[in-house]
Amino acid sequence: MTHSNPDLLTVGLVQVAPVWLNRQATLEKMLLYIDEAASKKCQLTVFSEALLPGYPFWLELTDGARFNSDLQKDLHAHYMQQAVQIEAGHLEAFQKKARTHKMALILGIIERPVDRGGHSLYCSMVYVSAEGEIANVHRKLMPTYEERLTWAPGDGHGLQVQSLGAFTVGGLNCWENWMPLPRAVLYGLGEDLHVAIWPGQLRNTEDITRFIAKESRAYVLSVSGLMRREDIPDNIPHARLIRKNSLPLLANGGSCISAPDGSWIIEPQTGEEGLWVGTLDHREVRRERQNFDPSGHYSRPDVTRLVVNRERQRTVWDQQSEI
């Protein structure tokens, strides 16, 4: 679906809890929300960080830093088994939905990539184009705090932007959004729609969403998840202990949209699952860039420049012999 006004873009923010640590069941839940977003004419639909198959909440609830712990090994092995391997076709259902609805998607996944041996996990943001192509996979540069006990650090390969109608879309995972240099990379590539995905907490989104909008003079979507104690299923390792140590609410949402002047289009939404829809007008980006453009007329590349290494990290490189 496209608007008669080419400056307009309708976006959907999906704030839901996963079927925790169950890839297939969570995928099926996500697909239902994509169909709902299509019924509301969304051209871009965004899901939260690590939603597929879920955020590693157990780490802070089960002494996650204890070395050589059988409990931690059990949970990590289960997490790895439920993680997403793109090369195995685990995202094909999303690609098909994107093609069917002519809708771009941004997915927060736990990736188990073949190019790093297939046994380490990365927190990745995946952009699926409206044509159903996996156009970009950004692996979180630096897992935050206890996340480092289960996720590996990513690389700069995915610091890219995508064209969508009048907009140039980029995004970062969770606390990456606090890192000024990765933000500056996306600004320099022309980003005017920034997507920040989070596991879900109002404290994460209520300030930084409007701050990034004002800094970049761009629209900012923050999309968060939910997690409640009752979302901890019985069929995962050590479920009883995790549930015993859990608060009633582990993640309360906070999904929202800010305009390029820092005003709210959708204020932070907490405590409930759902799809929130907003329509963005690129004209507002152009209006706000009149007095400030962080990589254009208000930048000084002769004084400060940014170097980016976008090489995908690998352990094994194939080098052709010279003939």
Strands 122-128 and 104-111: antiparallel
SS3 134: strand
Residue 83 pLDDT class (50, 70, 90 cuts): very high
Residue 3 pLDDT class (50, 70, 90 cuts): confident
Annotated active-site residue 140? The verdict is yes
- H or E segment and range at residue 171: strand 167-173
> Active site residue: 174, 191, 215, 284, which one?
174
pLDDT at 314: 86
Is the residue at 40 inside a domain? Answer: yes
Q: How many domains does the chain have?
A: 1
Is the residue at 305 inside a domain? Answer: no
Task: Lowest mean pLDDT of 23-32, 184-193, 255-264, 303-312, name the range.
Answer: 303-312
In the sheet where 274-281 sits, what is the strand order?
Answer: 134-139, 122-128, 104-111, 44-46, 8-15, 274-281
Tell me what the mean pLDDT of segment 52-72 comes to.
97
pLDDT tens, position by position, 198-236:
999 999 999 999 999 999 999 999 999 999 999 999 999
Cβ 245 vs Cβ 254: under 8 Å: no
Is the residue at 148 inside a domain? Answer: yes
Tell me what the mean pLDDT of segment 17-24 comes to.
98
Tell me what the mean pLDDT of segment 277-289 comes to.
98
User: What residue numbers bound the domain in which 220 lies?
Assistant: 8-288
Is the residue at 3 inside a domain? Answer: no
SS3 139: strand
> Active site residue: 49, 176, 191, 288, which one?
49
pLDDT tens, position by position, 141-157:
999 999 999 999 999 99
Tell me what the mean pLDDT of segment 34-55 comes to.
98
Tell me what the mean pLDDT of segment 247-261 comes to.
97
Is the residue at 298 inside a domain? Answer: no
Residue-averaged pLDDT of the chain: 96
pLDDT at 69: 97
SS3 88: helix
Is pLDDT at 2 greater than 90 in this prediction?
no
Cβ 36 vs Cβ 14: under 8 Å: no
Residues 6+ apart with CB under 8 A from 117: 315
Question: How is residue 265 written in tokens?
Answer: 């289009």
E strands, 192-273, in order: 193-197, 219-223, 226-228, 249-258, 264-270
Residue 323 pLDDT class (50, 70, 90 cuts): very low
pLDDT at 320: 66
Is the residue at 225 inside a domain? Answer: yes
Is the residue at 166 inside a domain? Answer: yes
Task: Lowest mean pLDDT of 80-84, 178-182, 309-313, 314-318, name the range.
Answer: 314-318
Read off the CATH number of the domain in which 282 is found: 3.60.110.10
- Measured between alpha carbons, how far is 257 from 170 in angstroms, rounded to an integer? 15
Is pLDDT at 55 greater than 90 in this prediction?
yes
pLDDT at 316: 85
Q: Give the residue from 152, 83, 94, 149 showing the smallest Cα distance to 127.
A: 94
Residues 6+ apart with CB under 8 A from 137: 86, 111, 124, 125, 126, 127, 157, 158
Annotated active-site residue 40? The verdict is no
Q: Output Rg (C-alpha) for the chain, integer angstroms.
A: 20
pLDDT tens, position by position, 307-322:
999 999 888 887 764 4
State percent of the chain over pLDDT 90. Answer: 95
Residue 133 pLDDT class (50, 70, 90 cuts): very high
Residue 84 pLDDT class (50, 70, 90 cuts): very high
What is the residue-wise DSSP string for 174-225? GGGGG-HHHHHHHHHTT--EEEEE-SS-HHHHTTHHHHHHHHHTSEEEEE--
Is pLDDT at 176 greater than 70 in this prediction?
yes
pLDDT at 1: 60
> Active site residue: 29, 111, 140, 176, which one?
140
Is the residue at 316 inside a domain? Answer: no
